[in-house]
Amino acid sequence: MKKIIWPTIDSKHLVVYSKQMLDLENEMFSQGMPQEALMEKVGIQISKWFFKRKFLLKKGVVVLLGPGHNGGDGAVIAKELFLKGYLVKLWCPFPLKKTLTINYVNYLTSIGVEKLKEAPDPEGKYLWIDAIFGNNQKRKVDEEIIELFNKRFRKKSGKVVSIDVPTGLCPDSGKPFLKNAVRANYTLVVGLNKIGLLQDTALPYVGELHHIDIGISKDQLIKLESKIFKITYQDLKTIKQPLLPKNTSKYKRGRTLIIAGSNKYPGAALLAIKGALSSGAGFVSAILPDLVAKSMWQVEPEVVVKGRLKSDSDGNSILFDALTNIDLSNYDSIVIGPGIGLNKEDWKKSTESLLGLKGLLILDADALNRISKSNLGCKFFLERKSKTWITPHNEEFMRLFTDKDCNNKIELAIKAAREFNISILLKGANSVIASNEKAWQLCGTDAETARAGLGDLLSGFIGGCSSIDLSYSGNCIKTESLAKFVFLHSLAASKCKKGSTASLIGNQLSKLMRKTKARQMS
């Protein structure tokens, strides 16, 4: 694996498929670790998590045990809680199969833990611990079991905590095997992050994700083929930005060009420009529709208007004339797309200029919609030889790459990035950033910040930040930088106390950029 600078390679950040986790466990067993030792370790670590949250335990606990080793983990948890004086009951909805699990349950009943003969009352106040199938589930689960859990969830009778993976949820796709899966308030992810739990489709089921460290060694982690990383707001403390020398001129502090807006969507241009300015780039230029260009000196006087976009009869912007009248090689990064509207014929004429551009090209929104409707389609990316970043949401992505059949969004993004040699931000509740060999998935985001205009702000911010990175690195930039920019934008949205509009979040972005650089310098 090539060196990853951000985030660090550890069990909190690595994301794996269920088979990779099972292979890792089997490797540990082949090296001499007894299965019961690992089971005991997992159960004890999870119990420690509970002991830090005693409010969950005060009404008592029902541990629902599966037939395999996940049920054994649950049995260890039950033992630890019982020995600490908590009221604990067991229920086994299926016949137990694994010897270790059977032995643990026999021990528990011998020391006084009650084993229920009937299903527990879903309206009871007990905490329910879902230790039925976990990471090893590969098929549909009894619908009556799922409904028992979810009746409790709907009535808000008490909390549900799932061990590793909620029962009925595919750990690789993040989709229920049937129509539904257990809806947990918390999911305790054992060892490494399972890819399915991070997908947008899993959000209704997993609740809060919490990582349970079981002491996997750094050597084992480095050997894993996984190149997927989970990032959360806690990773701000390890993020680093380029610090340019104090005597660097504005032209060497990042030069970005924003081509955005139309008579139909003038606001998109203003938001993209606001994003670029919040990055701290030294020189922000723009090509804008006449409606926006006329007032730019009053709104953002530091922006240099380099050209004006004509409009077709439907109010969509025409790019061709503006692109041919400017030297695009003067810029480190160029952003095209927010609010430009659709015009298939104009895109066809503009293609030659864009294919020949040697700088970083960032394509968003209507630029991507124009490509999807063009004769070249996604082959545009193959024709373009220089670095290209695209920022679609799910519908835009599927219009571009219609033949992508994958388990989850990470697979979709990596496959397209590899095939077309581009970097992709696939936007969503848990956005994915992918190159042809690595991916980052942003988790734990604020749902209240899903607002109109944030994508325009983000594309401009990416343009400005990337131009700074390119100035600093000598025209070399990696997809890891794109992941950082998306992370910072999302964090600013979550921290904006004055509101969640794109304009307010732009102001918060400026403050965040200054704070992170000040932290590095201290």
In this prediction, residue 141 carries a pLDDT of: 82
In this prediction, residue 517 carries a pLDDT of: 85
Predicted confidence (pLDDT) at residue 183 exceeds the cutoff of 70: yes
Q: What is the pLDDT of residues 123-167, one digit of tens each?
A: 999 999 999 999 988 877 889 999 999 999 888 889 999 999 999
Burial class for 315, CB neighbours closer than 10 Å (0-12, 13-18, 19+): middle
In this prediction, residue 360 carries a pLDDT of: 97
In the block, tokens 């979810």 appear at 150
Mean pLDDT for 253-275 is 96
Q: What is the pLDDT of residues 43-91, one digit of tens each?
A: 999 999 999 999 999 999 999 999 999 999 999 999 999 999 999 999 9
Tokens of 390: 């695209």
Mean pLDDT for 409-414 is 94
Query: What number of helices (H) and strands (E) belong to the chain?
Result: 19, 20
In this prediction, residue 287 carries a pLDDT of: 98
In this prediction, residue 1 carries a pLDDT of: 40
Residue 499: phi, psi to the nearest 5? 155, 180
In this prediction, residue 449 carries a pLDDT of: 60
Helix (H, G, I), strand (E, B) or coil at 348: helix
How confident is residue 248, by pLDDT bands cut at 50, 70 and 90? Answer: confident
In this prediction, residue 244 carries a pLDDT of: 79
Model-level pTM?
Answer: 0.93
Mean pLDDT for 379-387 is 95
Q: What is the dihedral of CA 506, 512, 514, 515, to 10 degrees?
A: 160
Give the helix ranges, DSSP H, for 301-343.
320-324
Residue 386: phi, psi to the nearest 5? -100, 175
CA 492/CA 362 separation, integer angstroms: 21
Query: Higher pLDDT residue, 245 or 472?
Result: 472
Mean pLDDT for 260-274 is 96
The domain 14-226 having CATH identifier 3.40.50.10260: the answer here is: yes
Q: Is the peptide bond before 245 cis (omega within 30 degrees of 0)?
A: no
How confident is residue 362, by pLDDT bands cut at 50, 70 and 90? Answer: very high
> CB atoms < 10 A from the CB of 90, how many?
25
Instruction: Quickly name the fold that domain 238-287+328-521 has.
Output: UDP-N-acetylmuramoyl-L-alanine:D-glutamate ligase (3.40.1190)
Mean pLDDT for 417-429 is 96
In this prediction, residue 138 carries a pLDDT of: 80
Q: What is the pLDDT of residues 394-411, one digit of tens each?
A: 999 999 998 777 889 999
From 310, 332, 304, select the one nearest 323 (Cα to Cα): 310
Q: Taking all residues of the chain, what is their mean pLDDT, rounded to a whole number? A: 93
Residue 390 bridge partners (DSSP): 363, 424
DSSP state for residue 140 in the 8-state scheme = -
Q: Which of 4-8, 355-359, 444-448 has the lowest mean pLDDT?
A: 444-448
CA 242/CA 260 separation, integer angstroms: 27
In the chain, domain spans: 14-226, 238-287+328-521
Residue 503: phi, psi to the nearest 5? -65, -45
How confident is residue 190, by pLDDT bands cut at 50, 70 and 90? Answer: very high
Mean pLDDT for 465-488 is 93
How confident is residue 218, by pLDDT bands cut at 50, 70 and 90? Answer: confident
In this prediction, residue 402 carries a pLDDT of: 81
Tokens of 220: 């084992």
Q: What is the pLDDT of residues 223-246, one digit of tens each?
A: 887 789 999 999 999 998 888 778
